[in-house]
């Protein structure tokens, strides 16, 4: 669903707020997979869970450990 190098929208939700950023997928993935992406503006790498072919949700460290 998501190709390596594809631009995705990353969503982070906390305390009733939703923040979004644009990032580049570092690897190929399907819905439900956890992958690394790089924020286009900050160049920060983070773990996200793929929601659909254009959207991913930031994974907390606690969720990644499961």
CA angle 26, 28, 54 (to 5 degrees): 85
Measured CA to CA, the distance from residue 35 to residue 47 in angstroms comes to 6
DSSP code for 29: B
Stated as kind and residue range, the H or E segment containing 39 is: strand 34-39
**1-54 pLDDT tens trace:** 999 999 999 999 888 899 999 999 999 999 999 999 999 999 999 999 999 999
Element (H, E) at 34: strand 34-39
pTM, two decimals, is 0.86
């Amino acid at each position: 669903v998501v190709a390596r190098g594809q631009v995705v929208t990353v969503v982070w939700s906390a305390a009733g707020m939703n923040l979004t950023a644009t990032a580049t997928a570092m690897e190929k993935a399907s819905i439900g997979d956890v992958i690394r992406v790089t924020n286009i503006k900050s160049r920060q790498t983070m773990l996200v869970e793929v929601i659909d072919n254009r959207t991913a949700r930031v994974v907390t460290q606690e969720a990644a450990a499961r």
